[in-house]
Chain A
């Protein structure tokens, strides 16, 4: 077999773990474009260090271990301070959410959607406009005729309700 096949194989693994890794990176408070750059850098480092990976262990946490250092470097380069305990707490939540080996991450995301569907008004609309329509908070505030701070608090409350729902399903710590 030729060497390019190794790249192809790695791409399979990368595809399987894209959503998990991007979820972790987005949760580390990085803006969207930086998250994409860090995703690329993490995957390239994983590719170079694949020989160190223990096949008997799950791939996701190993990948997030690499990602954590790339995130820390990202903050350091911008002279910002990253909270390592927070990064650890985020990683632990993502690990719990992704479940044991063999679990379909999309299935887990569908469980998340089921929690979203249980939201009542005005939380459901806030989440819908922000995440499904991708509208900025200022625009949502204008649309629902509330001030920005109220919308922010509403969304935070909605996320807390979703987190509680996921906790009850055993998907969140």
Chain B
């Protein structure tokens, strides 16, 4: 190695060690940041997004992998191959539910909007990891940063509360009404909700209107009557080419939403509803049990979970030092 090569290597080592030092510093700051700071950052971002709400922005393009050719192809297929006259909306929903159910490991992100019309309310977000009906992990993040995790690993159900304490749960412990579908599955599992919408009483419609992104179609299911805490509308945005769900929105009727007033007293609905400010109730656990305003669900890219992914130990060792 000549002197020049040695100098270059020395420079690279110096650069790498400097980068490592900067990264450790940055990660330590991130690790020790108070959750409220992150929440303020997100609130500021939400306000900025709201102020400059981009006209003509197309979320549906998010899932488009190719360029113009793919978009044109998808549009042609949507218009000529699977147009509204040829394919019944309910059949389309059934086919997509089958496709979703066929996939093994899958993760969705979801964002829960509390009941009420105030758009400034805090939002709850989370993820759902699913392998099958008996292997599930739900992680819910509250606006103030607290997390609750609930899972099922075979015949064992468990939860980890925001203090990091692991609890073994009876398998029949009820989930919040915005998690447990009327059929007994999970609402945030897209296949489950599509199949729920195929039950009697639901009406499906299909939209291939020009205001949608190229290669995108919208299926909607509504029902006029149902149990008070069950959703009454399902909207599914689908990639026409692949038949994959891009996003799903599930809504509840306003009149059925249980609300807890600022005084902690329940106004309507069942126990452990939502407070008027969208935060969890003052007592009785972290997760609000009552019907929310809506849930938006977005599938994540393909994922494979490890063998211990659905065990409480996998998460407990992260939470409990």
Query: What is the interface of chain A, defined by CB distance below 8 A to chain B?
Result: 1, 3-16, 18-19, 22-29, 36, 39-40, 43-44, 47-48, 50-51, 53-56, 58, 83, 85-86, 89-90, 92-94, 97, 101-102, 104, 106-107, 109-110, 112-113, 116-117, 127, 130-132, 134, 156, 159-160, 162-163, 166, 172-173
Q: Is the interface of A mostly helix, strand, loop or mixed?
A: helix
CB distance from A113 to the nearest CB of B (A): 6
B107 interface residue (CB < 8 Å to A): yes
List 16 additional A-B contacts (Cβ < 8 Å) besides A7-B49, A113-B321, A172-B20: A3-B53, A4-B53, A6-B57, A8-B296, A9-B296, A11-B45, A18-B41, A26-B26, A50-B61, A51-B61, A90-B22, A90-B23, A93-B23, A94-B23, A109-B31, A162-B28
Q: Which of B12-43 contact A (CB under 8 A)?
A: 15-33, 38, 41-42
Chain A residues within 8 Å of B235, by CB: 1
CB distance from B265 to the nearest CB of A (A): 30
Chain B residues within 8 Å of A40, by CB: 41, 44-45, 48
Partner of B65, one of A54, A117, A162: A54
Chain A residues within 8 Å of B247, by CB: 1, 5, 9
Beyond A1-B249, A113-B31, A134-B32, whether A97 also contacts B49 by CB under 8 A is: no
Chain A residues within 8 Å of B113, by CB: 8
B92 interface residue (CB < 8 Å to A): no
Q: Do B32 and A18 have beta carbons less than 8 Å apart?
A: no
Query: What is the interface of chain B, defined by CB distance below 8 A to chain A?
Result: 15-33, 38, 41-42, 44-46, 48-50, 52-54, 57-59, 61-65, 107, 109-111, 113, 119, 123, 125, 141, 218, 235, 237, 247, 249, 296, 298, 300-301, 303-305, 318, 321
Chain A residues within 8 Å of B321, by CB: 113, 117
Question: Which of A85, A89, A110 has the most chain B CB atoms inside 10 A of its CB?
Answer: A89
Chain A residues within 8 Å of B27, by CB: 23, 27, 97, 109, 112
Chain A residues within 8 Å of B42, by CB: 11, 14-15, 18
Partner of A156, one of B19, B21, B58: B21
Q: Taking CB as reference atom, which chain A residue is nearest B220?
A: A1
CB distance from B142 to the nearest CB of A (A): 12
Q: Do B23 and A50 have beta carbons less than 8 Å apart?
A: no
Beyond A9-B298, A112-B28, A113-B321, whether A55 also contacts B237 by CB under 8 A is: no
Q: Do B318 and A106 have beta carbons less than 8 Å apart?
A: yes
Beyond A14-B45, A107-B318, whether A23 also contacts B23 by CB under 8 A is: yes
CB distance from A123 to the nearest CB of B (A): 12
Q: Do B65 and A12 have beta carbons less than 8 Å apart?
A: no
Alpha-carbon distance A28/B23, docked complex (angstroms): 8
Chain A residues within 8 Å of B18, by CB: 86, 89
Chain B residues within 8 Å of A1, by CB: 218, 235, 237, 247, 249
Q: Taking CB as reference atom, which chain B residue is nearest A6?
A: B59
Alpha-carbon distance A56/B302, docked complex (angstroms): 9
Partner of A166, one of B24, B50, B218, B301: B24
Q: Do A7 and B53 have beta carbons less than 8 Å apart?
A: yes
Alpha-carbon distance A6/B72, docked complex (angstroms): 22
Chain A residues within 8 Å of B15, by CB: 83, 85-86, 89
Chain B residues within 8 Å of A86, by CB: 15, 18-19, 22
Alpha-carbon distance A129/B107, docked complex (angstroms): 38
Q: Taking CB as reference atom, which chain A residue is nearest B218?
A: A1
Chain A residues within 8 Å of B296, by CB: 5, 8-9, 12
Alpha-carbon distance A85/B26, docked complex (angstroms): 18
Beyond A1-B218, A15-B42, A172-B20, whether A131 also contacts B28 by CB under 8 A is: yes
CB distance from B127 to the nearest CB of A (A): 8
Partner of B111, one of A12, A85, A89, A92: A12
Chain A residues within 8 Å of B30, by CB: 19, 22-23, 26, 109
Alpha-carbon distance A85/B13, docked complex (angstroms): 12
Alpha-carbon distance A102/B321, docked complex (angstroms): 22
Q: List 16 A-B contacts (CB under 8 A).
A: A9-B247, A10-B59, A12-B296, A18-B38, A24-B26, A26-B30, A27-B19, A47-B54, A50-B59, A50-B61, A51-B57, A51-B58, A55-B62, A101-B301, A102-B305, A112-B27
